[in-house]
Amino acid sequence: MDKLALKDFLERKVQEFDQPSFIESDPVCIPHLFSLPQDIEIAGFFTAIFAWGNRTTIIAKAKELMVLMDMSPFQFITNHQPADLKKLLTFKHRTFNTTDLLYFIAFLHFHYNTSHTLSTAFTRWMKKSDPDISEGLNGFFQYFFSLDDVPGRTKKHIAAPCKNATCKRLNMFLRWMVRRTNTHVDFGLWKKISMSQLVCPIDLHVARVARRFKLLDREQTDWQAALQLTQNLKLMDPEDPVKYDFALFGLGVLERY
C-alpha cells in the first residue's frame, strides 16, 4: 500500500472509531461519567493506570474505585479523613494493590493542594518548543515519587521515557486530556500541551499493525518505537498524529488485523 493509499485507509478507520459510540465499551467511558474537570482528570488517570488486560475488567475496576470515592473523586482526594480510607483497603486490580492506591491518593492530595489541575504535574517540566511529551513524562515520574516514604513496589505503575518504557497508559491518558475534536471522545481539557507533542500509545497489538504498514521497523516495542511510530504518523498529520491511535487500536484489537 503506497503512502497516499495508507493515509486514506487510516483516515477512514479514524472516522469509523473516533465516534461517540466508541465510548461505551472503552475505558474512556469512566472519565465520561463526570463533568467537573478535576473529576475527569482523576477518573481518567486511575482508569489509564488500570488499562492493561481485558477492557471489561478495566472498566469494572475503575468504576468500583469511583464508587468507593462516592463518585466524587476530587472531593474525596482533597477532603478525605483518615477513617475514609478504610473502605479502600480491600481494593485491588491485578498487581495494583492497597499500598499503591494509598500512595496515589497521597500524591494527588499533595498536588491538588498547590494546583487546580493535574496538567501542571506534566507541563511544569516542558517547553512549548519541545517536539514531544518526553520531558513532561520524565518530570512527572520524578515529581510523582517525590513524597516521603515512597513504596518501592509502587514505582512499577508509573512509566517514564528515561526507563525506555513505552508509557502506553500515560500516553493514552494524555491523549484523552489533550486532544480537541468534534466527536468528544477525548476531552481536550489541557491547553498547554499541543496535540502535536503527544506520542501515540503503543502496545503489542498497535505495534503489530504499525509494522505491517511499515510505520515501524524497530524490533523492540519501547519508547523509541513509540517515537518512531509517532514521527511516521506526523508525516500524515503533523498537527494531530495520535488521532491514528483510533485506527491502529481498532485494527489491532477490535478487528485483529
SS3 194: coil
Q: Is the dihedral of CA 141, 87, 93, 79 positive or negative?
A: negative
Task: Work out the pLDDT band at 1, boundaries 50, 70, 90.
Answer: confident
Beta-bridged to residue 93, according to DSSP, are 96
Q: What is the pLDDT of residue 197?
A: 98
Q: What is the pLDDT of residue 201?
A: 97
Would you list the domain boundaries of the chain? Answer: 3-254
Can you tell me the mean pLDDT for 109-118? 98
pLDDT digits (tens, 9 = 90+) for 118-137: 999 999 999 999 999 999 99
pLDDT digits (tens, 9 = 90+) for 185-229: 999 999 999 999 999 999 999 999 999 999 999 999 999 999 999
Percent helix, strand and coil across the chain, each to the nearest 5 = 60, 0, 40
Q: Which residues lie closer than 8 Å to 15 by C-beta, 6 or more apart?
A: none
Q: Is residue 155 over pLDDT 80?
A: yes
* Mean pLDDT of the residues in the chain: 96
**The C-alpha cell of 96 is what?**
495494583
Largest CA distance in the chain: 61
Q: Is residue 255 over pLDDT 80?
A: no
125 near 136, Cβ under 8 Å?
A: yes
Is the pTM of the predicted complex or chain greater than 0.75? yes
